[in-house]
Structure 1
Amino acid sequence: MSAGVALISGGARGIGRACVRQLAQDGYDVSFCYRADERAATELEKELGEEGTRVLAMRADVTDGAAVREWVSRTERELGPVTTAVTAAGITADTPLATMPDDKWTSVLRTNLDGVFTVCRAVAFPMMKRRAGSITTVSSVTGIYGNAGQTNYAASKAGIIGFTKSLAREAGRFGVRANVVAPGLIDTDMSDAMPEKARNHLIESIALRRAGSPEEVAELVGFLASERAGYITGSVLEIHGGYGG
């Protein structure tokens, strides 16, 4: 018997991909969207299907509200009502504020923050009508502690925290939970792009002296989606190996 239907944005790579796998392992049917990496999405869809998971992969730009609504509608038509949603789509475009062009500011805010808005808006009302559901948004320790050269990224990730805390207050009386996961340095393609010197310096500021894995983040997301987290809402769960900012 299925645990329900999980919907994950940015599911073709990184933390999103690990969340797709984790929730499939936990017994959910899964629907995920991707923006560009069709090959990775198709491979993941095929792998999970061969393992017996009902899965839907759909190209959708999370900055496009109409595309997101169509993705959610198709998910509910083909798999059933969405019971848990995870917003993992995100980008970086690091530049010092003094030299940041408008497009780098706008693109990061649009994808990272507006993308959370479009997904949550599409799933929250149906969940509230059913009086059940959970939403997990993926922020970052940068949204809590800040980081030089990432004012755009920090603003988007801090915005996710305020957004999710407010959503938790709106939706709680309808039985819907909303929480934030704030990862630190995680081994993904985005972190791989860091200069080696900067990466090593960052690891020295982490108590465990290592980067985390996408799977470790996904396990936390899986916990928040489960009934074991039934009394957790409006919370920010940091997962960073002891990073203090």
Structure 2
Amino acid sequence: MTNVVVITGGAGGMGLATAKLVGREGFHVVLSDVNQDRLDAAVQELAPLGIASTAVCSDIADRASVEALVDTARQRGHVRGVVHTAGVSPQMGDAAFIVRINALGTVNIAQAFLPCVDEGFSLVNVASSAGHMLPGFMLPTGVYKLAFRDPDALTRKLTTRAQRGPKKLRSGMAYALSKNFVMWYTRQLAATYGAKGGRAVSVSPGSFDTSMGQLEKKSGSDKLLDYAALKRFGKPEEVAELLAFLGSGKAAYISGTDILIDGGTKAGFGLKGFIAMARGG
């Protein structure tokens, strides 16, 4: 039977870069994104490389849409894993939109693919270095727990939490909270997936040279390089190597943790850095 890997956000950036690596290992790649034109272009880009792929236009914040994605993937063969790169950043919408896509979308993906989990299955969630930057007292882990019993309430309460501060900071706060949630949620999923022989792990990229990364220069993402050990944006191919590795059998004993890939930004970023970024300087 054909082995299948699903890549959300697979129409570009780190998702498409990961698809090229995974596809070369002989997997049929199911690409998911909200833009059909970009999906079609991605399939055309993969074909000359000898990579078999299927494009599925899907909204990760809509559970029915995600269920349809699962059905398509299972029709293509044995689903061996999901690399969940889909998400939005502060410049792409308001707090409610960001929480809905990043937090609720991750819950939908994790729960909808749970029936596919068996020995060797892997879920690799993309979080963000932003999720590492918030001080501990700002992390509403009590709210995070709603993911397991009332995802809609999780969305509402996280949005409310993000909207407590100044208006200009709300989208950024929603992003940081939603990505911190992704890390927390992935740790909680590890035992559930592990009971079926699968793994769940998250990756937190820093500033990368993708369309989203370039867009976030308007939010000051390039200023994070002031704190980084490596004074440059990362390349999509660099994070793709990590995502592909974590989704492979070579990472068979890695689960329930987050791996930071940020060029040493967090190493140089402390409370002073947080305050400076919050002030816009």
TM value normalised by structure 2: 0.77
> Which whole-Å CA distance do the structure 2 matches of 1:162 and 1:231 have between them?
19
CA drift at 1:125: 2.1
> Which whole-Å CA distance do the structure 1 matches of 2:241 and 2:261 have between them?
11
Corresponding residue of 1:138:
126
SS at match of 1:174: coil
Match of 1:119 among 109, 114, 136: 109
Corresponding residue of 2:212:
190
Deviations 1:105-157 (A, max 9, x none): 21101111111111111212221xx3330000000010111399311001110
SS at match of 1:91: coil
Whether 1:16 aligns to 2:6 is no
> Which whole-Å CA distance do the structure 2 matches of 1:105 and 1:197 have between them?
14
Indicate the structure with greater helix content. Answer: 2
SS at match of 2:90: coil
Corresponding residue of 1:83:
80
Q: Higher mean Cα deviation, 143-152 or 51-60? A: 143-152
Q: Higher mean Cα deviation, 221-230 or 21-30? A: 21-30
Residue 17 of structure 1 aligns to which amino acid in structure 2? L
CA drift at 1:194: 3.6
CA drift at 1:15: 1.7
Cα distance change, pair 159–17 in 1 and its aligned pair in 2 (3 A)? same
Moved over 4 A (4+): none
> Which whole-Å CA distance do the structure 2 matches of 1:196 and 1:108 have between them?
16
> Which whole-Å CA distance do the structure 1 matches of 2:50 and 2:230 have between them?
37
Match of 2:97 among 107, 125, 131: 107
Match of 1:48 among 46, 49, 72: 46
Aligned-residue sequence identity (percent) comes to 31
CA drift at 1:197: 9.8
CA drift at 1:184: 0.4
Match of 1:39 among 34, 37, 52: 37
Tell me the number of residue pairs that the alignment of Structure 1 and Structure 2 aligns. Answer: 233
Corresponding residue of 1:61:
59
Structure 2: gaps spanning 5 or more residues: 136-167, 270-281
Cα distance change, pair 209–173 in 1 and its aligned pair in 2 (3 A)? same
TM value normalised by structure 1: 0.88
Structure 1: gaps spanning 5 or more residues: 96-102
Cα distance change, pair 131–240 in 1 and its aligned pair in 2 (3 A)? same
Q: Does structure 2 conserve the Cα–Cα contact (< 8 Å) formed by 1:132 and 1:174?
A: no
> Which whole-Å CA distance do the structure 1 matches of 2:78 and 2:96 have between them?
33
Residue 193 of structure 2 aligns to which amino acid in structure 1? A
Corresponding residue of 2:240:
218
CA drift at 1:19: 1.7
> Which whole-Å CA distance do the structure 2 matches of 1:199 and 1:165 have between them?
27
> Which whole-Å CA distance do the structure 1 matches of 2:115 and 2:119 have between them?
9
Corresponding residue of 2:69:
71
Cα distance change, pair 131–104 in 1 and its aligned pair in 2 (3 A)? same
> Which whole-Å CA distance do the structure 1 matches of 2:50 and 2:29 have between them?
11
SS at match of 1:7: strand
Q: Higher mean Cα deviation, 162-171 or 15-24? A: 15-24
Q: Higher mean Cα deviation, 55-64 or 40-49? A: 40-49
Corresponding residue of 2:175:
153
RMSD: 2.2
> Which whole-Å CA distance do the structure 1 matches of 2:133 and 2:174 have between them?
13
